[in-house]
Amino acid sequence: MATLIHEEDLDAIALGGAFLGTGGGGDPYIGKLMAREAIRRHGPVTLLGADEVADEALCISVFMMGAPTVMVEKLPSGAEILKALAELEQFLGRKADALICVEAGGLNSTIPFMVAASTGLPLIDGDGMGRAFPELQMVSFTLHGLAATPMVLADDKGNSALFSAISNLWTEKMARSVTIEMGGAALVAAYPMPGAEMKTALLHGTMTQIRKIGETIQEARNSARHAGSALRDTLGGTHLFTGRVIDVERKTIGGFARGKLTLRGVERFAGQQFIVHFQNEFLLAEDETGKTVWATPDLICALDADLGLPVTTEQMRYGLMVEFTGLAADPQWRTPEGLALAGPGYFGYGGPSQERIPV
Amino acid sequence: MATLIHEEDLDAIALGGAFLGTGGGGDPYIGKLMAREAIRRHGPVTLLGADEVADEALCISVFMMGAPTVMVEKLPSGAEILKALAELEQFLGRKADALICVEAGGLNSTIPFMVAASTGLPLIDGDGMGRAFPELQMVSFTLHGLAATPMVLADDKGNSALFSAISNLWTEKMARSVTIEMGGAALVAAYPMPGAEMKTALLHGTMTQIRKIGETIQEARNSARHAGSALRDTLGGTHLFTGRVIDVERKTIGGFARGKLTLRGVERFAGQQFIVHFQNEFLLAEDETGKTVWATPDLICALDADLGLPVTTEQMRYGLMVEFTGLAADPQWRTPEGLALAGPGYFGYGGPSQERIPV
């Protein structure tokens, strides 16, 4: 059912996107400001259920690519992503009929609302990840054989590149290298697909889900309830651990923010130590013996334990008290194809996701 | 005046291209084989004087981009460059009327003959460098304000990228990074321009010049004459030095073959030592005190002193006896704009080209 998204809905969407973004995809706050401005100027965004989209409709994903550490310093103006979309439409010789979020997390779950408001296009309620992942081929669209290309990448200076590739991994490689040249962040229009294919490949309803997550966080804060518990009650997640950050290693390598956090457990986790590895997103949580606590493709979501608000990887700092919640990924990610695309092995982590030890 | 280029003309063109290529642009031998095959199949190539091209004709440059060290191991099939040209034509909504050599040296002075034969398009007698340079913005076209974009880059696997950029330096940056991802070498169609602008910006007659250089080398070899002397008699160059290679440092960095040669002087240069720095091309020759002997944008051309044949940077090896000839670059390269684009300072070498000490 079509829903209108107004300015006042954006806070919840940004909060939910930050939580489901598993630390990556950039701070949705930036995208929220951009979306708010666009909605004020152009009116509310229509959020369409996937089934309301015509089979022959042209659906296009719009997103930002790059290291979140760069994104927070190099703010997009909004013009770049509209330019990327316009160039892709020009190449296809056809206007888009609807927009898709490539990921239900981080900046990329709010920026599409800006594009939708600015262009008047509806946004589809769903995404390609059900979370955030660091690389552009890590979407359900890839699992359904849909191409990221033709794809346009645009920067803030006026440069752009249109890719055509033999696989989505090749698109990622080419686009990542150009993104690095562009300064570490770029805006993208990609994955053009007809409505019929979108309906099969999309993870449905995730925009509604992040909004609900955001509302749960807001309600918990308003009622002085514990946000982590409230979310786990709603989503059925696992409390992985709560700890204080005692070390952060972070480097921007190969266009990604890579690193690891070391946390000293508190409360019922006192006396334990945990390591959380990230590449833009939190991808692997281990205990002090090196045993996997939770791993990609399943979600490792972080809340500031004092404020009850989501924390992104670039916000992690010494002394912060963080509560980690593990969520199960969409079942598509637990198939052999899904694990090959975004499982721990792809990222060079040892144990398969299945061997995780529930805490 | 239009000239027909037949299979038997290619040897001289490849030899001349290797000499004027100042060690870079890859071994023209590969391009010669490709051009020969195409001429055998499709007939001779029409070499057109720039003034014979209509002002409204669409002229496009075709070339290979990457490190010559990679090019010799990763041979193009010919299909990639035709694909790059076809994609650029499709984007422009118009077929090319004539082809341009981007550089009068190396592989890129022979590959366009293959494209011309295969497509039936005429090749224009001229180029954008009057030599070879390592980066794609280093062309007279840039000095005349012409854009490299829209430009298509294609690889052997079926991937391609179409760039639009705010400057030719930005095109170089984006294209170089994708070329590296593609394995270090890629095929390009770029610098689309109308005939009227081509006539102003082109360095005229360089295809005829490289053919004459090649014929001079052939005649010298046939008459047991010294090729270096014969070339200097014809071209008015300077005998920089002759020496034996006693050290080669070579790395493929940032998509370029970079390094330096150390040579021990022989004959009248006995007792002296020389260093030749290269980035794909020979760019700076110094004596043992660090004084500049010859420097970019002027040409440093190498001949195997025993065989009287051109030597490329990737063919340099310990023990080889090499004779270096210095040629003056086209006057456009000695302007402040030309020096900024391809002078020693751009490459991080100390002394300005003007300070070179004739030996």
The verdict on B151 touching A (C-beta cutoff 8 Å) is: no
Query: Does residue B174 sit at the A interface (CB-CB below 8 Å)?
Result: yes
Banded model confidence at residue B351, pLDDT cuts 50, 70, 90: low
What percentage of chain B's residues is helix, strand, coil (to nearest 5)? 35, 30, 35
Task: Please give the pLDDT value at position B6.
Answer: 97
Q: Minimal Cα–Cα distance from B175 to chain A, Å? A: 8
Record: contact A174-B159, CB cut-off 8 A = yes
Nearest residue of B to residue A164, measured between CA atoms: B160
Query: How far does A187 lie from chain B, in Å, by closest CA?
Result: 14
Q: Which residues of A touch B176 (CB under 8 A)?
A: 181
DSSP string, B273-342: EEEEEEESEEEEEEETTS-EEEETTSEEEEEETTTTEE--GGG--TT-EEEEEEEPPPGGGGSHHHHHHH
Q: Give B-chain residues touching A176 at CB under 8 angstroms.
A: 181
pLDDT tens for B156-172 read 999 999 999 999 999 99
What whole-number distance in Å separates Cα of residue B297 and Cα of residue A239?
A: 65
pLDDT the model gives residue B289? 94
CB–CB of B166 and A157 under 8 A? yes
- For β-strands B45-48 and B123-127, DSSP reports them as parallel
The percent of residues in chain B predicted with pLDDT above 90, rounded, is 83
User: In the prediction, which pLDDT does B213 show?
Assistant: 96
ipTM of the complex in this document: 0.84
Q: Which of chain B's residues have a Cβ under 8 Å away from the Cβ of A87?
A: 164
Which residue of chain A is at minimal alpha-carbon distance from B173?
Answer: A181
CB B322 within 8 A of CB B241: no
What is the band of B352 on the pLDDT scale with cuts at 50, 70, 90?
Answer: very low
Q: What is the pLDDT of residue A353?
A: 43
The pLDDT tens digits of the residues spanning B223-241 come to 988 999 999 999 999 999 9
Average pLDDT (B243-247) is: 97
Give per-10-residue mean pLDDT for chain A (359 aa): 93 94 83 93 97 98 84 75 97 97 90 96 97 94 98 96 97 96 94 98 96 96 91 94 96 85 96 95 95 96 94 92 96 94 90 42
pLDDT tens digits for B268-305? 999 999 999 999 899 999 999 999 999 999 999 999 99
Rounded to two decimals, what is the model's pTM? 0.88
CA distances from B33 to A252, B10, B37, B210 (A): 44, 9, 6, 17
Chain A residue numbers with beta carbons less than 8 Å from the beta carbon of B177 are: 177-178, 180-181
- CB–CB contact A91 B87 (8 Å): no
Report whether pLDDT(B357) > 50: no
| A3-206 topology per CATH | CV3147-like fold (3.40.1610)
Write the secondary structure of chain A as one string of H (helix), E (strand) and C (coil): CCEEECHHHHHHHHHHHHHHCCCCCCCHHHHHHHHHHHHHHHCCEEEECHHHCCCCCEEEEEEEEECHHHHCCCCCCCHHHHHHHHHHHHHHCCCCCEEEECCCCHHHHCHHHHHHHHHCCCEEEEECCCCCCCCCCCCHHHHCCCCCCCEEEECCCCCEEEEECCCHHHHHHHHHHHHHHCCCEEEEEEEEEEHHHHHHHCEECHHHHHHHHHHHHHHHHHCCCCHHHHHHHHHCCEEEEEEEEEEEEEEEECCEEEEEEEEEECHHHCCCEEEEEEECEEEEEEECCCCEEEECCCEEEEEECCCCEECCHHHCCCCCEEEEEEECCCHHHHCHHHHHHHCCCCCCCCCCHHHCCCC
Instruction: Name which of B165, B176, B181 is nearest A173 (Cβ-Cβ).
Output: B181
**pLDDT value of residue B228:** 93
In chain B, residues under CATH classification 2.40.390.10 are 227-355
Position B13 pLDDT exceeds 50: yes
- Report the residue from B158, B160, B178 with minimal CB separation from A178: B178
Between B350 and B171, where is the model more confident?
A: B171
* Homologous superfamily of the A227-355 domain (CATH): CV3147-like (2.40.390.10)
Residue B8: the pLDDT is 96
- Residue range(s) of every CATH 3.40.1610.10 domain in chain A: 3-206
A-contacting residues of B 61-90, CB under 8 Å? 87
As a whole number, the mean pLDDT across chain B is 92
On whether any CB of chain A is under 8 Å from the CB of B22, the answer is: no
Helix residue ranges, H only, chain B: 10-20, 28-42, 68-71, 79-92, 111-119, 140-143, 168-181, 195-201, 206-222, 227-235, 336-342
